[in-house]
Structure 1
Amino acid sequence: MSQLAGKLGIVFGVANKRSIAWAIAQAWHKAGAKLAFTYQGERLKENVEELAGTFGSDTLLMPCDVTKDEDIDRVFAEVGQKFGKLHLMLHSVAFAPKDALEGKFINTSREAFRVAHDVSAYSLIALVRAAEPLMTEGGSIVGMTYYGSEKVVPHYNVMGVAKAALEASTRYLAYDMGPKKVRVNCISAGPVNTLAARGISGFTEMLKHYEAHAPLKRNVLPDELGATGTFLASDGAAAITGQVLYVDCGYQIMGM
């Protein structure tokens, strides 16, 4: 029997086939889950539509701007109508203005700080709140974070601060959702060549640095992130909540 047979989930954050969200969605689907997807704006609709369609022509696909409460409310109303309940949710959503990911952190504008935190951290709170009424049988919520939340990664800048807020939010949400048997965790992935990552200055050098310094002497593979996402969604992780799991070939343990 598949690990996630009979589970119903929703995935936020697929942009294209290289997205970490897509790697986890594929793993969840393979493990037996039925999934719905959202996309951010018309520019990404065709990509996500094509990918989601590989799971079946009836796969639920909806637009969602996570900075708009009315979009979030509509998405979960549609999920409620189609699924009736929800067991899984993936939050793989982050954004900061490009100029905030260049130069010095000290030059972060008030607006860039607001946008980064609204999209990358507050959205998790808003989505969990909207999902809660549908998660009547317990479940698992997974967010995506990065090591720049706890150590300085040049050029990651305000996104690192927003990811720190995301991780703290994960702990508080885990406490709130615990009585409903809903677990909330984050995966801290090593660098992966995604659309979002390519917006970070010096990303290619970052990949080389990880490969040289991580104990496993390589970078993480998307399939490995999918496997971790499936573990966190499964009964095997039934006692794990409020945690950040590092899936980075061991890089996080290194001092030098």
Structure 2
Amino acid sequence: MVKNKKILIVGLANKYSIAAGIAESLYENGAKLGFSIQNERFEKFINEFSKNYDSDFTQICDLSNDIEIKDLIKKAVDKWGKIDGIVHSVGFAPADQLSGNIEECISREGFQIAHDISSYSFSGVIKEAYPHMSNNSSIITLTYIGSQQATPNYNVMGMAKASLEASVRYFSSTLGEKGVRVNSISAGPIKTLAASGIKGFKSMLNKHGANTPLARNITAREVGNTATFLLSDMSSGITGQTIYVDGGYNIQSMDFD
């Protein structure tokens, strides 16, 4: 499906992250992968992780810094020539923004950080990358239903994810004629490093799994398989969409006995 496609995964944090599930699926389907990490703290991990995927491109990139984003894309282009796909797997808000009622915890600084890292970073990467992307290329990002429905403790991350989803629609509307598709995957809750920062996440995970039509939680690999489809030519007619991989949770308005 993605044989020999050069795909850059932005925001890999650890082997339990959704991005790792995406990398696994892409690699098994023949993609050539590159990775970016946030800072030196993850360098030992990414050096070991990338060996398992025959990757010859890893780069530290602080996504709050436009110069580092520009350098990331330049080095990817220098290595590969053209980029066939990008996975944006990034989300962050200060811990004090993810606990309690939003009217009590929201701050200007927390709001700005959440939107800068979780939403603008996507726009910043696309701005630098699109001139260097191949025809029939694809970009995906990861979101969550908290962008559409008020979710306990998700707070400013829900706002930032709503902004991210709007970005998908706007970029897809103009990049389509340049041969670049843009989509998002709204995944159900998965136990990751990022999710662990949300107060009450374990309860959220349990309730979600018990109340989906599939009667279980989804896995990072299931998200990865959907990502592989969206990054492949098999999805050539799909752009500007949010694809739900949540066991059907989003279609229900109430629980059924």
Q: Into which bin does the TM-score normalised by the smaller protein fall? A: over 0.9
The correspondence of residues 211-226 of structure 1 with structure 2, limited to 5 A, is 211-226=209-224
Provide the secondary structure at the position in 2 that maps to 1:152.
coil
Partner of 1:84: 81
Cα separation, 1, equivalents of 2:16 and 2:66: 28
Q: Which runs of 5+ in 1 are unaligned?
A: none
Q: Is the partner of 1:96 in helix, strand or coil?
A: coil
User: 1:100 maps to what in 2?
Assistant: 97
The residue number in structure 2 matching 1:152 is 150
C-alpha deviation, 1:212, in angstroms: 1.3
The one-letter code matched in structure 2 to 1:91 is: H
Match of 2:205?
207
- Helix, strand or coil for the counterpart of 2:83? coil
Secondary structure of the residue aligned to 2:135 is: coil
Q: Distance in 2 between matches of 1:30 and 1:164?
A: 32
Q: TM-score, normalised by structure 2?
A: 0.96
The equivalent residue for 2:7 is 9
Root mean square deviation, CA, Å: 0.9
Unaligned runs of 5+ in 2: none
Percent identity, aligned pairs only, is 45
The total of aligned residue pairs comes to 253
State the shift of 1:130 in Å: 0.9
**Which SS does the other structure have where 1:207 is aligned?**
helix
Question: 2:136 touches 2:233 (CA, 8 Å); kept in 1?
Answer: no
What SS does the corresponding residue of 2:128 show, helix, strand or coil? helix
8 A Cα contact 1:40 1:65, kept in partner: yes
In the TM superposition, residue 115 of structure 1 has moved relative to its aligned partner by 0.5
Contact 1:136 1:180 in 2 (8 A): no
The equivalent of 2:61 in structure 1 is 64
Q: How is 1:119-158 mapped onto 2 (pairs within 5 angstroms)?
A: 119-158=117-156
> Which residue is 2:246 aligned to?
248
TM-score, normalising length from structure 1?
0.97
| Aligned AA (1:69) | D
Partners of 1:174 and 1:32 in 2: CA distance: 26
1:93 partner amino acid: V
Corresponding residue of 2:161: 163
Partner secondary structure for residue 28 of structure 1: helix
Provide the rounded CA distance (Å) in 2 between the counterparts of 1:136 and 1:212: 42
Deviation of 1:10 after TM superposition, in Å, equals: 0.4
Give the deviation of 1:64 after TM superposition: 0.3
- The SS at the match of 1:183 is strand
